[in-house]
């Protein structure tokens, strides 16, 4: 063996993990799974590794900065940002200020090397990811971040493999709430407009909730009432028009998001269909624009203030070396004119 002393990079190479994982394992961080932590510590003992306290002190210095990264989402305009995330951004920045953290906001593409740019370079102590479009395109990268014990949170479906990192609302419960509301109004032929595939896990969970309530009510799931659509007004217009063109009978529509609901309502109006007398419509998100439609949109509200606090609190706990879990943000239904029920 050469005369140079053992470094954390030597341990990382032998253990088959990143240098960041070695550092966390040697600090007994709960962000590293016990098996990996024990392996790293055993290798460190075998290699007679000694922590350089002065260097460790420099590395542990925090920037007290959080990076919020927007990923491009398809939109009807040139912004490429889902308006839901703009509302969420406002709450995050206010909460970060309250916690005395600076905020960097950046627009990214999935192909960008944002990991090295923000975390490894120490420009930020952690990152919050907002928007990802097709989940299949980012899932591998998120899993890598998780496996290496890096500090990040993301708004979306709370999948088990991203426990503590992924934070979202009760999507299944929201789907159940929307469908139950329509059934209570006497609607029975409820179309679902939106995705029900793995590429859009939040929408898939909302559809699952929708189907749960239909099953409970003894109403068969009719595949003709599923109208796949992306999270775009134009896509929703096309999907709704396809329902009408093939003569599918429906008396109500549950849209997987408000953006989709806006497209649905535009299409129904264009075809001379009265909302809510002929068709009731329910959305999901409670975007500010929901109140400006005529009639105003009934929708499932996600509490963006609580969502922002959960994203920040989990991130700060990770930075502090604490264990985290994924809270489920509560939802509620806001009844407006698009359903014909009593407004709240």
Q: Note the pTM of the prediction, 2 decimals.
A: 0.78
CATH 3.40.50.2300 segments of the chain? 65-168+304-329, 171-302
CATH 1.10.260.40 segments of the chain? 8-59
pLDDT computed for residue 269 by the predictor: 97
Q: Would you identify the CATH topology of the domain 8-59?
A: 434 Repressor (Amino-terminal Domain) (1.10.260)
| String of DSSP letters for 6-48 | P-HHHHHHHHTS-HHHHHHHHTT-TTS-HHHHHHHHHHHHHTT
What residues contact residue 220 under an 8 Å CB cut-off, 6+ apart? 214
Find where tokens 């990811």 sit: 129
Q: Which CATH number fits domain 65-168+304-329: 3.40.1390.10, 3.20.20.70, 1.10.275.10, 3.40.50.2300?
A: 3.40.50.2300
pLDDT averaged per 10 residues, the chain (length 344): 66 84 73 84 86 47 80 64 86 91 77 56 80 65 73 82 86 97 97 92 95 97 96 94 96 97 97 97 95 95 95 92 88 94 66
Q: What are phi and psi of 319, to 5 degrees?
A: -60, -35
Rounded CA separation 286/257 (Å): 9
Q: How far apart are the first and last CA of the chain?
A: 74
Q: How far is CA 128 from the centre of its chain?
A: 10
pLDDT computed for residue 83 by the predictor: 82
Q: Would you identify the CATH topology of the domain 171-302?
A: Rossmann fold (3.40.50)
């Amino acid at each position: 063996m050469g005369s140079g002393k053992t470094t954390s990079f030597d341990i990382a190479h032998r253990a088959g993990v990143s240098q960041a994982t070695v550092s966390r394992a040697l600090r007994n961080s709960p962000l590293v799974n016990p098996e990996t932590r024990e392996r790293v510590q055993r290798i460190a003992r075998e290699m007679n590794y000694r922590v350089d306290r002065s260097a460790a002190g420099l590395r542990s210095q925090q920037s007290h900065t959080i990076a919020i990264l927007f990923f491009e989402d398809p939109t009807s305009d040139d912004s490429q940002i889902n308006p839901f995330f703009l509302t969420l951004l406002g709450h995050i920045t206010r909460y970060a200020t309250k916690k005395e953290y600076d905020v960097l906001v950046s627009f990214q593409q999935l192909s960008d090397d944002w990991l090295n740019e923000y975390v490894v370079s120490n420009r930020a102590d952690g990152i919050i990811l907002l928007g990802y479009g097709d989940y299949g395109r980012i899932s591998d990268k998120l899993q890598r971040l998780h496996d290496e014990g890096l500090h990040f949170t993301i708004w979306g479906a709370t999948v088990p493999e991203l426990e503590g990192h992924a934070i979202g609302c009760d999507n299944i419960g929201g789907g159940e709430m929307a469908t139950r509301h329509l059934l209570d109004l006497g609607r029975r032929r409820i179309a679902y407009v939106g995705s029900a595939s793995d590429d859009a896990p939040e929408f898939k969970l909302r559809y699952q909730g929708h189907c749960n309530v239909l099953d409970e009510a003894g109403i068969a799931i009719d595949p003709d009432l599923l109208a796949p659509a992306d999270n775009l007004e134009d896509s929703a217009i096309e999907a709704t028009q396809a329902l009408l063109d093939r003569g599918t009978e429906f008396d109500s529509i549950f849209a997987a998001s408000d953006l989709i609901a806006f497209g649905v309502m535009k299409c129904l109006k264009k075809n001379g269909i009265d909302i809510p007398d002929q068709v009731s419509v329910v959305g999901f998100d409670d975007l500010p624009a929901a109140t400006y439609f005529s009639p105003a949109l009934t929708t499932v509200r996600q509490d963006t203030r609580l969502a922002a606090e959960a994203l920040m609190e989990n991130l700060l706990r990770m930075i502090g070396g604490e264990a985290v879990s994924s809270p489920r943000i509560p939802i509620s239904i806001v009844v407006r004119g698009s359903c014909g029920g009593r407004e709240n």
